[in-house]
Chains A and B, each alone.
Chain A
Amino acid sequence: QSTITWRMQTYAGPALAEHVIKPAIDMFNKIAGDRMQIELYFADQLVPTGELFRAMQRGTIDAVQSDDDSMASPTDVTVFGGYFPFASRYSLDVPVLFNQYGLNEIWDEEYSKVGVKHISAGAWDPCHFATKEPINSLADLQGKRVFTFPTAGRFMSQFGVVPVTIPWEDVEVAMQTGELDGIAWSGITEDYTVGWADVTNYFLTNNISGAWAGSFFANMDRWNELPEDLQTLFRVCCDQSHYYRQWWYWGGEASLRVDGSKLELTTIPDEEWAQVEAKAMEFWDEIATESEVKARVVEIIKKYNADMLKAGRPYRYS
């Protein structure tokens, strides 16, 4: 019997993929051996990120690691991928929302409709601004050209941010060639890992979301062709990848804020930042009016955050 081979493309470039995906795929390949091998490709390597969803649905690529938002999935849940403003505060919020509050079922339903298997969602890092000029107040955001996610960009544009979307791998250079003034794409760990800390000077400690939500997907036919044990192995390796990211980002965020030497920290006072949070609640309601599915997701996110508030410390401190 010949080896099953899959092509998988991640949204991440090689430096970041070294942490967020490669260990899990190496593990998969080692265990599956001659039965199955996954070839990992990085951001834009085989197809541009904008075409990623289509390529997977069509079978040009067998599996994908990305958030729904940046690969522009044609589903109603797309806006909630990546950074849906203030939906979560900690990286553990994401798996709880998916596994215990019913998002998994909604995602599965929505992706099945468009011929793609949603395998598993996990959390990444919080969304902070890294910029050339210091950000000490909302006014400092005015007119800044910032690389960010489509939905986060749509939300932040009301504060004068000009969202720019370019291929992920071009961000560092675009900072240097003046196409960008800043990046609102990640936490500080990623800024250091992918080299963005070398081209920016300041890091804003306020975030617009506590954790990125991203997923593993596969072409529906390819997934169904896999024997059950390989499906299970794939799921286990996805979970391993989620787990690795939980501690890698959580620890990294803290230690680089404390010991990192490349970025100076700035903060917008809580009272001022509360305006952004208030606008996020309006943004949620606005999104909820767009469709019935979106309304369901927004309701779940609201319920979850209310529960966390009621639960009190250590879930929420205010």
Chain B
Amino acid sequence: MSHELIALTMFSGMMLMLFTGQRVFGAIGFVGALAGLMLWGTGGVDVPFSAAMKLMKWYPMLTLPMFIFMGYVLSESRIADDLYKMFHVWMGPVRGGLAIGTIGLMVLISAMNGLSVAGMAIGATIALPELLKRNYDKIMVTGVIQAGSSLGILVPPSVVLVLYAMIARQPVGQLWLAGVVPGLLMATLFIIYIYIRCRLNPALGPALPKAERNVPLAEKLRLLRAGLLPLIIFATMMVPFVKGWTSLVESSAIGAMAAFVAAILKGRMTKEVFENSVRKTLGISCMFMFIILAALGFGAIFDGLGAVQAIENLFTEQMHLSPWAILILMQLSFILMGTFLDDTAMLVIVAPLYVPLVGELGFDLIWYGVLYTITTQIAYMTPPFGYNLFLMRAMAPPEIGLRDIYRSIVPFVLLMVLALSLVMIFPQIAMWLPGIVYGN
């Protein structure tokens, strides 16, 4: 079998397996294991297991359960309720203000968890019912929550950027800082979009009625304090890390404990909240670890069979493209694959092919990490495969149908593509902050 044919067979085999609705790690693991057994030669059968030892030595993986735990503590204990009230009261008078406030809420939630799960849970359980009650357009707000929660993987801490950092061998601190401004840029684009649409068509997001706006100033100021909590948790974790007092994995443990302690102090850590956060953290962490385990095995076999070289050859030697054309082609293929393939698996399988090539083409790998993450955010929201879509379907109230969910994402995906292009054209958007903090 030629290298090209092996690459093609393995990829299409995996797609086929995924279409059966098989658990993602089973689909990837099976194709890898079968190829190892049939094509590798002596000892190919050992490669999937040796991936487990490789995964064990990937020490940044230790942050995964920590950031997931942080997110669940926040969403399960509802310590975000006050935060939501703050935005509600302060932004209510503006047309579309509650939707704009929800984006603000999502930015703060993103600063306290590494995935989009928590943002999604908080958005769907706290913000969505209130927005619908006040006659906000259901399609717009469904999109707001999905888009807003996807910021969780771009604004630090970010699990996706930790994974990328491991594969691209780039420093997590710089990658995280590089995600900050693009994350805020994207949030701003969302807000501008909501504001303009609601100005043009006030029925989409009516301002709060007078009666509800009548909140005494003292109360308004008191609510502002709620905004401090996420900032404190964020600082407890990030400052010692950026200053170099604690390492990445240690900081993640500090962050998890900070969220846990905050929930206890606020009196929200009931037995049920505790049980739910700990159990759900295990569920999601196991899912991630098994997918990565399977993908690492698949990747090593794919590589050892020469398929990686075949793909690199295709891009560099056979297609005669300029570096930018190759880069754009890669992003497009990521978006295309992201619509079908699990995002974590995509990172572990495809990034090892692309990242060295991106480096050889002379692009900055920190900057590329941000591009990659925005692409993943798009993948999170585009059908048929997307975590945020899954979560939205599971959490949305019954009046929001599947078609509403699909329609809701269109304008936000376009805004994300715009943000992606802006970061591509003006790399400084990403590189400015790490440059200032780390001085390079």
Contacts and interface: CB of A to CB of B under 8 A. Distances in A.
> Direct A–B touching in the complex (beta carbon < 8 Å)?
yes
Contacts of A179: 59, 247-249
Interface in B279-320: 300, 303-304, 306
Interface stretch (B106-114, B149-157, B168-176, B214-222): B168-176
A44 B59 contact: no
Interface string B252-281: 000000000000000000000000000000
A14 B249 CA distance: 26
Contact of A60 (B46, B173, B250, B306): B46
A45 B172 contact: no
Contacts of B174: 176
Contacts of A61: 43
Interface string B360-392: 000000000000000000000000000000000
Interface in B220-245: 241, 244-245
Given A50-B53, A51-B53, A173 B170 contact: yes
Nearest to B40: A60
A60 B169 contact: no
A269 interface: no
Contacts of B43: 55, 58-61
A59 B42 contact: yes
Given A60-B46, A60-B47, A178-B246, A48 B53 contact: yes
B44 interface: yes
B54 A177 contact: no
Nearest to A222: B42
B180 interface: no
Contacts, number: 85
Contacts of B165: 173
Given A173-B171, A179-B59, A44 B46 contact: no
Given A51-B50, A58-B42, A177-B247, A41 B303 contact: yes
Interface in A46-72: 46-48, 50-51, 54-55, 58-61
B133 interface: no
B361 to A, nearest CB: 15
Given A51-B50, A51-B53, A178-B244, A60 B42 contact: yes
A177 B356 CA distance: 22
A172 B171 CA distance: 8
B57 interface: yes
B46 to A, nearest CB: 5
Interface string A166-198: 110110111011110000000000000000000
B118 to A, nearest CB: 24
A22 interface: no
Interface string A3-17: 000010000001000
Contacts of B173: 176-177
A15 B54 CA distance: 21
Interface in A151-169: 166-167, 169
Interface centre among A41, A46, A173 (most CB of B within 10 A): A173
B248 A177 contact: yes
A100 B40 CA distance: 40
Contacts of A47: 47, 50, 53-54, 300
Interface of B: 40-44, 46-47, 50, 53-54, 57-60, 165-166, 169-174, 241, 244-250, 300, 303-304, 306, 356
Given A55-B46, A58-B42, A169-B169, 16 more contacts: A7-B304, A39-B306, A41-B304, A47-B50, A59-B41, A60-B40, A60-B43, A60-B46, A61-B43, A172-B169, A173-B169, A176-B172, A177-B171, A177-B248, A178-B246, A179-B248
17 contacts: A14-B356, A47-B50, A47-B54, A59-B43, A60-B42, A60-B46, A166-B57, A169-B169, A170-B166, A172-B169, A173-B170, A173-B172, A177-B60, A177-B173, A177-B248, A178-B248, A179-B249
